[in-house]
Chains A and B, each alone.
Chain A
Amino acid sequence: MIQTFTQLDLIRFIYNETTNEQHRDIELALLCNNELMEEYKSLKSTANALAKVSYAPSNSTIEKILNYSKSTNLHTTH
């Protein structure tokens, strides 16, 4: 039986939100369909690049929080 997949299914696949069965079916479809494979590679590489970007407070903010914590530690022994 030939399975068809939407572009949205591909997004689910990239973000591991498919069932094991869907995952296996999409893998097979990718191996048989060059166009789908190209789109997958394009979307996946962009998603991978996003993993390298950090969204976090600056080091100076982290330092301030940790310093505040230390200043309130009644258990600290010097």
Chain B
Amino acid sequence: MNNIELSDSKLVSLYIKGNEESFEVLLNRYKSKVFTNIYLIVKDTYIAEDLTQDTFIKAIKTLRSGRYNDEGKFKPWVLRIAHNLAIDHFRRKKRYPTIVMEDGSNVFNTLEFSEAPYENFQVQEDTKKKLRSFIEELPENQREVILMRHYQEMSFQDIAESTDVSINTALGRMRYALINLRKKMKQHKIAYDSNIYPT
């Protein structure tokens, strides 16, 4: 399917009429945003993976049932589903507190995480894996701004409002995040493009 020109609204309309490919386009268009949105709340990649699946299945059910009335606004709608599921996860967690073993580990760690996704977020190359691990190692507020700006495509103004800080604080966090990542890349001799000039 040539999806370059097709709007979300058109894709939704085609999907409701039975065109499977149109949903695949929507899924590929928003899977990263949905996943990152959830991950920022639950801060656990495995739970984020499960809740991403739940989000799209819930979207499919609503679209199939004819109850979808948010035509033309698929993106905020699906992100709202994701957000609500992530918040519900927290509420459930509060009702059923994590059982902790004598050594302090989570009793469900070995059960829940024994079957890790066979492809770790489609990142095959060693360099990409390392970069991801460097992002994970960043202080939380720096990791947050990286995820929001790079993978949710939020502006610094939006990030500032969302995290309740000034825009200069958001910009400063991004600067420190980039500096810290750069240091880690150098330490691990990860190649970077030194031939960058103003655009």
Are the CB atoms of A66 and B27 closer together than 8 Å?
yes
Contact status of A57 and B52, CB under 8 A, knowing A8-B168, A8-B172, A66-B27: yes
Interface contacts (Cβ under 8 Å), in number, total 141
- Known contacts: A45-B192, A49-B185. The answer to whether A66 contacts B24 by CB under 8 A is yes
* B196 with A48: CB separation less than 8 A: yes
Closest chain B CB from A56 CB (angstroms): 4
Please report whether the interface of chain B is mostly helix, strand, loop or mixed according to DSSP: helix
When distances are taken between beta carbons in the complex, the residues of chain B under 8 Å from A73 are: 18, 20, 64
Task: Check if A19 is an interface residue, CB within 8 A of chain B.
Answer: no
- Identify which of A49, A55, A58, A68 contacts B192 (C-beta below 8 A): A49
In the complex, identify which listed stretch (B91-99, B100-108, B175-183) lies at the interface while the others stay far away.
Answer: B175-183
Contact status A27-B198, CB under 8 Å: yes
- Count contacts on A: residues with CB < 8 A to the other chain: 45
The reply to whether B175 and A11 contact each other, CB–CB distance below 8 Å, is yes
A20, CB-defined interface residue at 8 Å: no
User: Which of A17, A42, A46, A60 has the most chain B CB within a 10 Å cutoff?
Assistant: A46
Q: Which of B53, B61, B171, B182 contacts A57 (CB 8 A)?
A: B53
Residues of A within 8 A of B119 (CB): 58-60
Q: Is A34 an interface residue (CB 8 A)?
A: no
From A7, A31, A57, A74, give the contact of B31 (CB < 8 A).
A57
> Footprint of B on A, CB under 8 Å?
7-8, 10-12, 15, 17, 26-27, 30-31, 40-62, 64-66, 68-70, 72-76
B: which residues have CB within 8 A of A? Answer: 17-18, 20, 23-24, 27, 31-32, 35-36, 39, 48-49, 52-53, 56-57, 60-61, 64, 117-123, 127-128, 131-132, 135, 146-147, 149-151, 155-156, 168, 171-172, 174-175, 178-179, 181-182, 185, 190, 192-194, 196-198
* 16 contacts across the A-B interface (CB closer than 8 A): A11-B171, A11-B175, A12-B156, A46-B181, A46-B185, A48-B196, A49-B193, A50-B131, A50-B150, A53-B150, A55-B151, A56-B31, A58-B49, A61-B117, A68-B60, A69-B23
